[in-house]
Amino acid sequence: MTQRRLILLFAVSFIVLGVAVWLTHREQSSGASLAGARVLPGLRTRLNAVTQVRINGPHGKRVVIDKGARRWLVSERGYPANSGQLRKLLIDLGNLKVVQTKTRLAKNYALLGVQPITAKGATGVRIDVISPHHSWALIVGHSALQGAASYVRRAKHKQCLLAAPLITTDAHIAQWLEPVIVNIGAGRVRSIAVHVAGQSPYSIMRTKPAAHFTVLGIPPGRELSSPDAADSDAAALSNLTLTDVHKSLPVPKGVLLSHAVVITFGGLRVTVSGYRAGKKGPDEITLVARGTGAKAAAEAKAINARVRGWTYSVPSYEYRQIFQRLAGLLQPLHH
Q: What is the rounded average pLDDT of the residues 158-186?
A: 96
Q: What is the rounded average pLDDT of the residues 40-67?
A: 96
Q: What is the rounded average pLDDT of the residues 37-60?
A: 96
How many Å from the N-terminal Cα to the C-terminal Cα in the chain? 106
Query: Judging by beta carbons within 10 Å of its beta carbon (0-12, 13-18, 19+), is residue 44 exposed, middle or buried?
Result: middle
Name which of 159, 163, 127, 157 is nearest 142 in CA terms.
Answer: 163
Q: In sequence order, what DSSP letters do the residues of 100-154 get, joined into one string?
A: EE----GGGHHHHT-S-TTSTT---EEEEEE-SS-EEEEEEEEEETTTTEEEEEE
So what's the pLDDT on residue 11? 46
Q: Give the model confidence (pLDDT) of 15-33 as tens digits.
A: 433 433 333 344 444 444 5
Give yes or no for a contact between 128 and 136, defined as CB atoms under 8 angstroms apart. Answer: yes
| Rounded distance between C-alpha atoms, residue 39 and residue 48, angstroms | 18
Q: Give the model confidence (pLDDT) of 257-311 as tens digits.
A: 999 999 999 999 999 999 988 777 689 999 999 999 999 999 999 999 999 999 9
Q: Give the model confidence (pLDDT) of 213-253 as tens digits.
A: 999 999 998 999 999 999 999 999 999 999 999 998 888 88
201, 207, 209, 210 alpha-carbon torsion, rounded to 10°: -110
pTM given for the model: 0.84
Q: Work out whether strand 283-291 and strand 97-101 pair parallel, antiparallel, or are unpaired.
A: unpaired
Amino acid letter for position 219: P
Give yes or no for a contact between 39 and 100, defined as CB atoms under 8 angstroms apart. Answer: no
User: Which pLDDT band, with edges at 50, 70 and 90, does 94 fall under?
Assistant: very high
Percent of the chain with pLDDT over 70: 89
So what's the pLDDT on residue 335? 56
